[in-house]
Structure 1
């Protein structure tokens, strides 16, 4: 959506909490004692901030520079008078035909006096005997626009824990935002995967473990008894077969019928020697307990036809399957 002098294109409010272990995946807005770059001719989030809301890997220490196609964030120049604010972001929502999709959103606010007041607050000193939580607030991609359609990205004043001040968070969470554009980016989960109870993508762990020589030799024969299992089958694109961590896309799956499960478990308890093979599988199966606990089982459906039985507490045992086992893991 284009931005005129009366209707500004806007995007998504994206203040979110993430765990402290995810800090390497959090895009950060650089702050500093400099004015924000002023850019002429705001049009839309799709054109001016197409990557807003993406998860961008950054170093765990230090503040990375912004992407080359983004202007530098900083304080609001006294000569710049904002008349509207725009937030560009991304979110996941149910798809129109089931499953889930990722969308890019634009949201607009014109009553921005409280937001401007909060943005002009100073950052507080960090350190000292301040008790801070381990959550990180991920700031939204925010732009301020003036009546000449010039725009800038303001830095957000922070509190003593280095997070956006509470006044800023409160102003961003206000009811003044109007969604003016929504674009579908990609499908996150298909309706078929959702109905099967399977993830849309999964990593071929047999290949990962054998490539890194972590899979142990076949263990003692195990009892074929187990609780009900869910079958999820994935296909690895040819372009990434044999890579470090090939991810497959969902093909079919669902609860494994009891009569087939018994045969599968018997096959997985064999003591057959693992063949010397380095052919990547184009399809693999994942077998997980329906109740979410217990062993995970991975089976190559072509290629080397190996399987891996992984414990939730760590450790994995490699085994050798065959075409009969692969056939038992056909569509349910």
Structure 2
């Protein structure tokens, strides 16, 4: 077991853009007692999706209907001795890159937390100015000395967010990480080394679904070094609204190849009438961030898109020679 002084309010309260008046996640509320469940097992079993920004139920990870413990007030007959918080974090992968892990933390110095949880929720609305972010309550369980557990209602302020006293109490206890498990890879070591994102959207497909952008404009007289990132689109996503590709290879484009790529992107060939989705596409981005992003379909219709930061994307027609210049670096 690995102990650490953890700022729980930061690690375990998800942030999502929303309006004021966020609501408690899960069934139940402050007016009914929380359901007491026998025998705590683990976050992996009781809260497998805890910490996701947008929890999406599915048959494999969600409890059957009617079996989720009711969130509510703490029954006076239930004496909590520990708190368990289930969440997610991003950390460096063992061989580079980044991975998302699910965490289970336990705290036993919980008197301030219990006092905060027993406060009433404030009335939502009134003259109070609310900020736009919504603080999503953590997946929190209280345990008694018999191993029973419940999910307490988290009192909210006048903006519908967890009360400041709760956030402060969560930031206070000495906690111990009792379990971690890898959920998924966020960024591979290869993508990190290449300076590329792990996933990217095929913007040629996106832009041409809603009409055809105009032809490419005149080439800039000087273009700085470009970074090449190539992505593979899973077959199941290729005709979706925003097909996301997974990183395959990338790195700084060699100078001699960059010159040929820029010449190819400045051609004036007519764009073919084609609707075949690409299985692979390349993204070319300036290393210094100055200038447009460039997207090239490496198969399928072989089109390319020049996307300035100010808008006004421009569509052109590539070919096999352009695709060959965008091979592994």
TM-score by length of 2: 0.88
Specify the alignment match of 2:25 in structure 1: 28
CA contact (8 A) 2:96 2:188 kept: yes
Give yes or no for contact 2:21–2:161 (8 Å, CA) kept in 1. no
Distance 1:29 1:118 in 2: 19
Match of 1:161 in 2: 159
Q: 1:254 to 1:187 in 2, by over 3 A?
A: same
Aligned residue number for residue 103 of structure 2: 105
**Bigger Cα displacement from structure 2, 127-136 vs 180-189:** 127-136
Comparing 202-211 and 318-327, the one that deviates more: 202-211
- Displacement of 1:147 after TM fit? 2.2
Partner Cα distance (1:133, 1:261) in 2: 46
**Displacement after TM superposition at 1:81 (Å):** 1.7
Q: Which residue of 2 aligns with 1:305?
A: 302
Cα distance between partner residues in 2 of 1:245 and 1:325: 24
Question: Are the equivalent residues in 2 in contact too, given 1:224–1:269 (CA < 8 A)?
Answer: no
Aligned to 1:262: 259
Structure-to-structure mapping, 1:202-281, within 5 angstroms? 202-213=200-211, 215-223=212-220, 225-281=222-278
| C-alpha distance in structure 2 between counterparts of 1:107 and 1:20, whole Å | 27
- Displacement after TM superposition at 1:299 (Å): 0.2
Give me the CA root mean square deviation.
2.4
Structure 1 contact 289–296 (Cα < 8 Å) conserved: yes
SS in 2 for 1:34: strand
- Report how far residue 71 of structure 1 moved: 2.2
Aligned counterpart, 1:61: none
Distance 1:117 1:67 in 2: 33
Question: In structure 2, do the counterparts of structure 1 residues 29 and 113 end up closer, same or farther at CA, with 3 Å as the change threshold?
Answer: same
Contact map agreement 1:13 1:107 (CA 8 A) in 2: no
The residue aligned with 1:8 is none
Separation in 2 of the partners of 1:261 and 1:90?
41
Q: Is residue 109–residue 174 contact of structure 2 (8 Å, CA) maintained in 1?
A: yes
Residues 1:126 and 2:104 are matched in the alignment: no
CA distance in 1, matches of 2:281, 2:24: 34
The 3 A distance-change label for structure 1 pair 22 and 224 is farther
The Cα of 1:29 is off from its aligned counterpart by: 4.9
Q: Give 1:13 shift.
A: 5.0
User: In 2, are the aligned partners of 1:49 and 1:70 still within 8 Å (CA)?
Assistant: no
Query: Which stretch shifts more, 124-133 or 203-212?
Result: 124-133
Deviation at 1:223, TM superposition (A): 3.4
Q: Which residue of 1 aligns with 2:4?
A: none
Gaps (5+ residues) in structure 2?
Answer: 2-9, 57-62
Consecutive unaligned residues of structure 1, counting only runs of 5 or more, are: 2-11, 59-65
TM-score (norm 1): 0.87
* CA distance in 1: counterparts of 2:71 and 2:316, whole angstroms: 54
Task: Name 2:94's counterpart in structure 1.
Answer: 96
2:322 partner SS: helix
Partner of 1:192: 190
